[in-house]
Structure 1
Amino acid sequence: MRNWLIGLSILMLLVIWQTGHLIYSVLDDKASWEKEGIMLALEFTAIEQVEKVSLYHGKDRYTVVRGKNASDIPMIAWFKDGSFEGFEYEKDVVPQERIEEQVRAQVKIKEWVRLQPGMEDRRPVWEALLIDEEDKFNYYYYDMLSGQFIRSYRLQKENS
C-alpha cells in the first residue's frame, strides 16, 4: 500500500512538472515572437512606439506590428520569417469599425472573438473571427485598402 502511494505521488509530481513546463514553453514562445516583432519594427520601419504585436496565421505566418512613428502617425507593418514585407499607414486603410459593421450585417454573432490585420498573397487584409448562433467559428476576410469582401468560411466548434 505504501509503495502504491509513493508511486502515485511521483506520478502526480511528474504530471504537475510537465504541465508547468508546457505552460512556461507557450508563454516563453509568445514573449519570443513579440520581442522579435518589436525588434523588427524598430529596425526596418519608421515605427518608434510599438502598441501591439500579433501573429497572423493565414496561408503564411506573419508577425504584425501596430505602432506610431515619430510624428505620432499610426502604422501597421508585416514581417514574414524575420523579413520586412510591407507597411500601411492606418489613415490609408479601411477603419476596423467599418469592417465590424459589414460583418455584423452579414451574420448573427453570438461572440465576437477578434478583428486583426493579416496578409494574403501579399495583400493586406482584415481577418474577423467570430462565433455565430449555431456555435460555428466564422472567418471573414476583407481587403484592408478598399474594404471589399474577399471570402469567408465556417468551422464547427469542437464540443467540450
Structure 2
Amino acid sequence: MGSIIGKPMDENMKKQQEFMLQTQRLLLERQIQMQNQMREKMMAMQMGRARDMFMWFSSFYAVTAVLCIIGARHRRGAVIPLLPLTFILGYQYDLAYGNKMMRIRAEADRILDDEALMLEMPHGLPTYSTIEAGRLDQKDKERLTKSNDLFL
C-alpha cells in the first residue's frame, strides 16, 4: 500500500522541483536583464555627463589658449586667469541651477538609442548556465581547499 501512494507523491515532488527550478531560472534571467538595463542606463548617463564636461573644458582650453597668446604679446597677465575661473563658475552654476541634468539625460537617451554597442558587456550577459557553472567551480575549489588543508 505504501508503494501505491508513494509513487504518485514522488512524481508530484519531481514535478514540483522542476517547476521551482524553472521559476528560479526565470527569476534569475529577469534579474540579470534588469540589472544590465540599469547598468546600461547608468553608463549612458556617465558618458553623457563626460561629453558635456568635455565640451565645457574644450571651450575653456580654446579661450585660455587665445588669451595666453594675446597676453604674451601685451604682458597683461593679471586678467587672463579670470576667464578660466569664469568658465568653471559658469559650469557649476549651470549644473546647480540650469538645465544641465536635462541635457545630460538627453545625451544619455541618445547614447542608448544610437550607440547601444558601446554599452554591451564583455562576453555578453551572464546566463543561468554560466552562473551555475561558476557556482559549481567555486564549490569545487572550496572543497579542494578544504581537502588540501587536511594534509597540511
TM-score range, shorter chain: 0.3 to 0.5
Return the structure number with greater relative CO, CA threshold 8 A, min gap 6. Answer: 2
The higher radius of gyration belongs to 2
Pick the structure with more strand per residue: 1
TM-score (norm 1): 0.32
